Amino acid sequence: MDTDTSDSGITTGTDGRDGALIRLDRVEKVFDVRRKTGFLRRERRRVRAVDSISFTVSRGEMVGYIGPNGAGKSTTIKMLTGILTPSGGHLRVAGIDPSRERTRLAQRIGVVFGQRTTLWWDLPLVDSYRLMHRMYRIPDARYAENLDRCVELLELGDLLDVPVRQLSLGQRMRGDIAAALLHDPEVLYLDEPTIGLDVVSKVRVREFLRDLNAERGTTVLLTTHDLSDIEQLCRRVMVIDHGRLMYDGPLTGLHEVGESERTLVVDLERELPPIDVGSARVVKVEGPRQWLAFPAAQSAAPLVARIAAAYPLVDLSVREPDIEAVISRMYAGKTTS
């Protein structure tokens, strides 16, 4: 047995409460990559895919894990499932060391890779579920109950007898999500679950995940390129780049870190020269309408008051920054330095 209970008092990352289900403490993964540099000559290079990452995820949290391609997201997920062994640091999921006890951990986690499938390609969908039933040794009653629930909520009823290869991408993804949940995992890792899906399918998948988290308290760790997934599902977001954790906190706080700007759109009575009120700068003028940018962290109220006092104001609106822009600015800022 391992000695997890002894170190559960140590707090790491941003959240050290006892409910921590996933705990990473200075976890690293280093790959040796060999590259051909000439005839018979090879060069060895060490790549730090994950560089001393620490965080904890509490039971019942729904966390977004984002970063550009090659940032180390998939490597982290693979370490969390036990497929990869960390080169250094300490890693626990539900008190289990993933790479040591991969099979025991498998009973407690569910994994969905958007671009890969766990389903049996040539056989009807339901056959894959029967296999999960046996593989995870799910008691018959619980299996039947979970299957019914997934079939209802993910609208799989008509698809159960269809061979997986005939399913559309959205249908297959719903099928895969159901397959990952039949054994009641405590944690669900989702790697790009909405990639390539149409809007309707995306909405359906998101709704399902939200309900799953709210009603069953399943902890969800979600990696995605689609930031609207994160906006709609996760209160907490972690940003990783070059193997390092760049940000860990609420979605709203990302704007401050990313030095993002909000936009105030002002309609004046008539065409006027650009407004000059100090803390905001005019980015665009189109007839009587002007666009002013100001730091997202700053309140819009004093700015509006100052404009109203000095200019003939007709109407105004505030636009929130686009996180996509925020994050790309964040990457650009850190990587060029």
Positions that interact with another protein (CB under 8 A): 31, 33, 49, 74-75, 78, 81-84, 102-103, 106-107, 109, 111, 113, 116-118, 120, 122-123, 127, 130-131, 134-137, 163
Q: Considering the complex, what minimum distance in angstroms separates the CB of residue 4 from another protein?
A: 21
Residue 87: CB atoms within 10 Å: 15
Residue 118 vs 232, nearer CB to another protein: 118
> Which residues lie below 8 Å from residue 262, measured CB to CB, with a gap of 6+?
293, 294, 295, 296, 300, 318, 319, 320, 321
Q: Considering the complex, what minimum distance in angstroms separates the CB of residue 21 from another protein?
A: 17
R_g (Cα) of the chain, nearest Å:
24
Residue 63 vs 84, nearer CB to another protein: 84
Strand partners, 110: 188
Q: Considering the complex, what minimum distance in angstroms separates the CB of residue 208 from another protein?
A: 21
> Which residues lie below 8 Å from residue 188, measured CB to CB, with a gap of 6+?
109, 110, 111, 112, 180, 181, 212, 218, 219, 220, 221
Closest CA to 81 of 63, 103, 114, 62: 103
Residue 113 vs 208, nearer CB to another protein: 113
CB 257 within 8 Å of CB 330? yes
Residue 7 vs 31, nearer CB to another protein: 31
Residue 198 region by backbone torsions, left for phi larger than 0, else alpha for psi between -120 and 50, else beta = beta
Closest CA to 78 of 109, 54, 47, 104: 109
Q: Considering the complex, what minimum distance in angstroms separates the CB of residue 107 from another protein?
A: 6
Q: Considering the complex, what minimum distance in angstroms separates the CB of residue 81 from another protein?
A: 4
Residue 74 vs 263, nearer CB to another protein: 74
Sign of the four-CA dihedral 81, 83, 84, 88: positive
Residue 83 vs 169, nearer CB to another protein: 83
Q: Considering the complex, what minimum distance in angstroms separates the CB of residue 80 from another protein?
A: 10
